[in-house]
Amino acid sequence: MDTKNCLWLSCLVTLAAILLSFVVFIKKKTRNTSLASLNNSSLSISPPVGWNYEVFLSFRGQDTRKTFTDYLYNDLVDAEIRTFRDNNELRIGKKIGDELLKAIQHSKISIPIFSKDYASSKWCLLEVTKMVECKRTSGQIIKPIFYNVEPSDMRKQKGSYEKAFREHKKHFDSATVEGWKKALREVGELKGWEVKNVADG
């Protein structure tokens, strides 16, 4: 294995470790809060509506499915973190769109992996829009990963993101496209991880 591949693998391992630490922390925090609520009858906090997953992974398959996303997914599963990604959880015969949106709604944490061509997928844009909705209505945590893409390019829809939206405007109404762009900007402002910074660090 050459030096470049060794550095890249080190980057993936480091980022996966950071993500695992974060998810495990949230998992323990949620569990402790639930136990405290049960042990203190004076608390009137209602538990969150049935979570089916602890993590939802959103990604463009052609960009990262067999590389970064696969590595991260397997690490999360090995750590006994209930994780959703479409090719593992969707059942044959179900409407893919409905199942994806339900999975997001019933996840504690959403992790969108923003790659170069993420915005070219209407499904990815529907997913990130649903994440923003769940963040507002149920306090879902969103932790974005910027995979070989500049966060500013995503927020301002420059470069490949600008190109993707030019294409979407040919097939979807302006309100739909503007809604997708707004959701991307909002998530792009959140604190997340940039793969290149993890490698440099």
* Domain assignments of the chain as residue spans, ordered by start: 51-194
DSSP 8-state secondary structure symbol assigned to residue 52: -
In this model, does residue 43 exceed pLDDT 50? no
Q: In whole angstroms, what is the distance from residue 91 CA to residue 69 CA? A: 20
In this model, does residue 15 exceed pLDDT 90? no
* Banded pLDDT at 49 (limits 50, 70, 90): low
Contacts within 8 Å (CB) and 24+ apart, 3-10: 7/199, 8/199, 10/199
In this model, does residue 46 exceed pLDDT 70? no
Q: What pLDDT shows up at residue 33?
A: 43
Q: Which fold has domain 51-194?
A: Rossmann fold (3.40.50)
pLDDT in tens, 112-147: 999 999 999 999 999 999 999 999 999 999 999 999
Q: Is position 54 annotated as part of the catalytic site?
A: no
- Active-site residue among 54, 80, 89, 127? 127
137 Cβ partners below 8 Å, 6+ apart?
none
| Cβ-based burial of 153 (10 A; exposed 0-12, middle 13-18, buried ≥19) | middle
Higher pLDDT, 67 or 200: 67
Q: What pLDDT shows up at residue 191?
A: 87
